[in-house]
Amino acid sequence: MRFRLSISFIAIGMACALSAWAQNEPPQQHAIQVPDGGVSGRMESIFIPPKAHAPFSLMLVTEWSRPLGNSGGTFTLANERRIVRDSKGRIYQERWILVPKGGKMKSFMDIFQITDPEQHTWYNCETAKKVCELNKYSRSTTDNFQPAILPSGTLPDGTGVRRSDDLGIGSTEGVDTHGYRETTTFNVGTMGNDQPMIATREFWYSPQLAINLVSIVDNPQTGKQVFRVKDLSTSEPEPSYFTVPDEYRIVDRLHEQ
């Protein structure tokens, strides 16, 4: 789920390092590694690739906790949303508003998205207006999606150090997963910090589905983000998920001149 913010956050250093590292990979490998979490206007959720022959449906539970200044406490926003993928790599995702955990405010779906890697289409649909924008979807089922883990070592320009640990094999929702933990320590002054700043990522990746079934991102800049899958099914979903409802008006941005 993505959450609208009025404040622009500084990009997470780990994600920037990952992007730069991936661009230096040998071109014949075409490895695509996208980390979960972070904030870029809205909160970024787990990455769902258009992997073929790996259908699923699930509910993603999200919690985002941030500190309450000098009180030592935290405040937490939460939601649950449905994500579905079929054997063709088509993806249906709901976007629900994050609301205070345990509060009286009820979450609601404000957006749903349908992507099709064969047709290269991406429908972004607003539920309030009943309008879908049609845009280009560039990802393909032939892309080589890999878990987003970086090697241990010194960060560029000596800004800090990263340690990557292999947590071994586990099981989540009855599906085999492989666990990884990445700990990044940024030196004093790297991001305006007057003490060493530590950011961590831990996730449990399913090779079968090419997604993380558990992902925990803890960064002093943006707080702690926890994503957990529940009600996972690997059966073929209903085709109706990938069709825009008749009552929605489509604005075609894909074929605009």
**CATH code of the domain covering residue 130:** 2.50.20
Residue 6 lies in a domain: no
Residues in CB range of 3: below 8 A, 6 or more apart: 42, 43, 64, 77, 97, 98
Predicted confidence at residue 43, as pLDDT, reads 67
Long-range contacts: 15-19, Cβ < 8 Å, 24+?
17/150, 17/155, 17/156, 17/162, 17/184, 18/148, 18/150
Residue 131 CA to residue 168 CA, distance in Å, equals 45
* Token pair belonging to 122: 């991406």
Largest CA distance in the chain: 56
Looking at this protein, which amino acid is placed at residue 34?
V
pLDDT at 10 over 50: no
Residue 251 lies in a domain: no
Predicted confidence at residue 227, as pLDDT, reads 97
Residue 140 lies in a domain: yes
pLDDT, tens digit, 9 for 90 and up, residues 21-34: 344 444 455 678 77
Residue 79 lies in a domain: yes
Query: Would you tell me how many other CB atoms lie within 10 Å of the CB of residue 172?
Result: 18
Residue 235 CA to residue 57 CA, distance in Å, equals 8
Residue 237 CA to residue 87 CA, distance in Å, equals 9
- State the alpha helices, DSSP H only, in the chain: 13-23
Query: Would you tell me how many other CB atoms lie within 10 Å of the CB of residue 140?
Result: 15
Give the containing element (helix H, strand E) for 229. strand 223-233
Residue 238 lies in a domain: no
Residue 98 lies in a domain: yes
pLDDT band at 71 (very low <50, low <70, confident <90, very high): confident
Number of structural domains in the chain? 1
Residue 4 lies in a domain: no
Predicted confidence at residue 34, as pLDDT, reads 79
Predicted confidence at residue 11, as pLDDT, reads 37
Predicted confidence at residue 39, as pLDDT, reads 53
* Token pair belonging to 169: 């094999």
Q: Which domain holds residue 96?
A: 13-229
Predicted confidence at residue 255, as pLDDT, reads 85
pTM metric for this prediction: 0.82
pLDDT at 4 over 60: no
Residue 222 lies in a domain: yes
